[in-house]
Each structure stands twice: as C-alpha cells, then as structure tokens.
Chain A
Amino acid sequence: EAQVTQNPRYLITVTGKKLTVTCSQNMNHEYMSWYRQDPGLGLRQIYYSMNVEVTDKGDVPEGYKVSRKEKRNFPLILESPSPNQTSLYFCASSPGQTQETQYFGPGTRLLVL
C-alpha cells in the first residue's frame, strides 16, 4: 500500500531533550516536506526537500533540523525542544513536480513540557 508513515504518533517530552520524528514514504517520491499544524494558524511549512541531499527552509524552520540521506526517509530533528514546539506535525511527499498532489502522513502529536 502506498503510504507515508510517521513515528511516533504521540510523544510527550521535556524541554531540552533531543528528539527525532521519523518519516518514510514507499512511493519513490522526490519531494518531501514537514509541516506543523496549530489552531488558528493552519499548516505551516517547516522544511522541505526536493531530492536526496537537497533541503531548504520553509516558513518556520527555527528550532528544527532535517536530513535527506535516502530518498524514502526525511526525519525531523528537534535538538533542544521548547514548549512552543508543542504541535501536530505532518510529513508529506509528492512525485516532485510542483503541480503534483502531496500525500500526507497520519501526524505526530508532540507535547513539550
């Protein structure tokens, strides 16, 4: 089944404790992206990747890191999480052309205490 998977789905952590949210797609998509969803703000793009080893900042990259060493994986790294990073995070992928539909993962709900 074609899908985007994220792990973990739910995470409670404390300020400053490094964490990684994994994202994997099995559709051989070139483009992958991370978003955060907050009430009243919609989805905001954190980082995106046009292909392996090619990443760029979105609207809200501060406090996040990403890497794209393999085509299928695009982990989101929070080196020192803070409470304002409490949010719902979505990973998405698409074949690569700008007109293509993005496929979203199920989301990761993060609470930083």
Chain B
Amino acid sequence: AQSVAQPEDQVNVAEGNPLTVKCTYSVSGNPYLFWYVQYPNRGLQFLLKYITGDNLVKGSYGFEAEFNKSQTSFHLKKPSALVSDSALYFCAVRDRGSTLGRLYFGRGTQLTVWP
C-alpha cells in the first residue's frame, strides 16, 4: 500500500536558520515525489518534485529536497528561513509503475518561522 508520513505536525525555526521538513514514503514500486505548500486561505502550490536523476532537487522560493532511496525519504530543506515561508507543507507520492492516477498526501507539517 502506498503511504506518506510527515512525522512532525509542527516545525518552528528562527528566521535566517536552516529548516527541514521531513517526509518518508512507502510505495510498491519506484516513486514520483512532490512537495506542495499551502498558505492561509489558499489552494496548494507546487514547490518541487523528484522524477529521476539527481537526488537533490531544487524548487521554488529557494527550497530543495533530497531523495534518499535507502531511507525512503524526501526531506524538504532551505538554508535560510524567511518569515514568509510560514505555511502548511505537504509531501505527496505516486507509484511510477502504476497506471492509476492515485496521488497520496501526507498529513501536512505546519512551518512557523519567527522573526
């Protein structure tokens, strides 16, 4: 069964410090992995995705994520957090071997960056 785990409901960091939002996944085959961000009262916006190739993926707003196949993880990172990064972050996974259109989301991690 496919699933995504975001082990932290909340992450709090000071502005200027590095941030990490964790994600682990379980799929029967090889994954496509995504990160989305949701600002208050808004829909989800795409941040980045891993399809193939380089395990370090760079995305929007200075975010990056590292695909680690052995640890089945896809943690989201940013070297220097901004207050404006405060939002709800979702990790999602699809099984690339599946012809079905199912996309599985984690429960979300609320990131708060304080000044």
Contacts and interface: CB of A to CB of B under 8 A. Distances in A.
Interface of A: 4, 31, 33, 35, 40-45, 48-50, 56, 58, 90, 92, 98-99, 101-107
B103 A33 contact: yes
Interface in B68-115: 90, 92, 94-96, 98-108
Interface of B: 6, 9, 32, 34, 36, 42-46, 49, 51, 90, 92, 94-96, 98-108
Given A45-B103, A56-B101, A101-B49, A107 B43 contact: yes
Contacts of B96: 98-99
Contacts of A4: 43
A50 B99 CA distance: 10
B49 A90 contact: no
A43 B90 contact: yes
A79 B46 CA distance: 32
A69 to B, nearest CB: 18
